[in-house]
């Protein structure tokens, strides 16, 4: 997997993903975190236009990704956009772009960058789409705007350990009555079959995701699921305009207030994520050194870290 310039890791957070696609120039959708795929948890978010599933991967996942996939190439070329991941740390952006490019909704505006890329790469195969995307500087710059501030630049290869956890994002999207899994590690989309048009496609995807989680349940419980949904503020305001019942209007206005509050919280969190706290940290270390407590504080921290690691190892052995 190439580099084509360095791409940073991205946190699996709805605020981060919403800011990410907004930075791409997309209008009309946002990202929400889903804690359960039960009807009660997803119905209020409908229509859901795509799902992004985060899970831990290992050697067996890479082997599965390398296996040939039985797909109908003519159908895929005609109806699906799929870009293969050819750059490290880009799976979050690849998963989201693969969903966005398959939307067929007049209320969603991809913006000039993604719309232009979609038209430019219309005749490309998945590998060349991935290569072209990796060289799209505007996408890389938005992606890397979420990089953590650091004092030093490190070579990822020297920092990566054999037992380090590695996580991966894959997308699920409905296209022409069928559910497709868009995994950038695969050579092509995976067709998971048709879904019942009388119910949400999410219920079909639910079985797939729950099965995936159960297959990892023996040694892994850390998963994350994000949903790409219509802009909730626009959705609520549209309903409000068409409602005359005072009780319903009060409920909708409450939903609008909650959405505005959430977006304000997202903005505050984003400012904290992107703020450079390193100068403050350096000055605090200087003050601690001047007061003669830096070395002892460091030794105490090392001791606590060792104790915590030993406790974790004991728990692992007991389980």
Q: Which residues are catalytic?
A: 91, 168
- The total number of residues written for the chain in this structure: 319
Sign of the torsion angle spanned by Cα atoms 103, 104, 106, 110: positive
Residue 54: both structure tokens together: 């985060």
**Residue 142, CA distances (Å) to 45, 74, 136, 145 in order:** 26, 33, 10, 5
Q: For helices 232-241 and 246-274, what crossing angle results, to 10°? A: 160
Question: What is the arrangement of strands in the sheet containing 224-230, beginning at the earlier edge strand?
Answer: 29-33, 224-230, 48-57, 166-175, 178-182, 190-194
Asked whether 99 and 228 are in contact (CB, 8 A), the reply is yes
Classify residue 4 as left (phi > 0), alpha (psi -120 to 50) or beta.
left
Cα(235)–Cα(243) distance, integer angstroms: 13
């Amino acid at each position: 997997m190439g580099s084509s310039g360095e791409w940073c890791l991205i946190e699996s957070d709805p605020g981060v993903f919403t800011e990410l696609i907004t930075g791409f120039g997309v209008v009309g959708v946002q990202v929400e975190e889903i804690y359960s795929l039960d009807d009660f948890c997803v119905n209020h978010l409908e229509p859901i236009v795509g799902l992004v599933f985060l899970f831990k991967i290992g050697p067996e996942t890479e082997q599965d990704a390398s296996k040939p996939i039985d797909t109908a190439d003519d159908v895929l070329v005609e109806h699906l956009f799929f870009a293969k991941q050819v750059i490290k740390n880009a799976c979050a952006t690849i998963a989201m772009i693969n969903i966005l490019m398959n939307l067929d909704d007049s209320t969603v505006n991809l913006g000039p960058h993604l719309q232009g890329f979609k038209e430019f790469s219309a005749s490309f195969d998945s590998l060349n789409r991935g290569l072209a995307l990796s060289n799209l500087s505007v996408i890389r710059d938005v992606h890397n705007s979420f990089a953590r501030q650091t004092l030093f630049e490190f070579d990822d290869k020297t920092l990566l350990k054999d037992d380090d956890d590695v996580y991966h994002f894959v997308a699920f999207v409905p296209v022409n009555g069928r559910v497709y899994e868009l995994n950038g590690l695969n050579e092509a989309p995976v067709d998971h079959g048709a879904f019942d048009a009388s119910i949400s496609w999410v219920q079909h995807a639910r079985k797939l995701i729950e099965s995936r989680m159960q297959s990892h349940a023996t040694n892994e419980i850390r998963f994350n699921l994000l949903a790409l949904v219509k802009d909730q503020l626009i959705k609520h305001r549209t309903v409000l305009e068409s409602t005359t019942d005072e009780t319903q209007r009060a409920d909708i206005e409450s939903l609008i207030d909650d959405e505005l509050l959430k977006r304000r919280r997202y903005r505050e969190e984003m400012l904290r994520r992107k703020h450079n706290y390193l100068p403050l940290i350096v000055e605090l270390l200087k003050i601690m050194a001047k007061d003669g407590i830096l070395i002892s504080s460091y030794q105490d921290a090392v001791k606590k870290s060792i104790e915590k690691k030993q406790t974790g190892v004991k728990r692992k052995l007991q389980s």
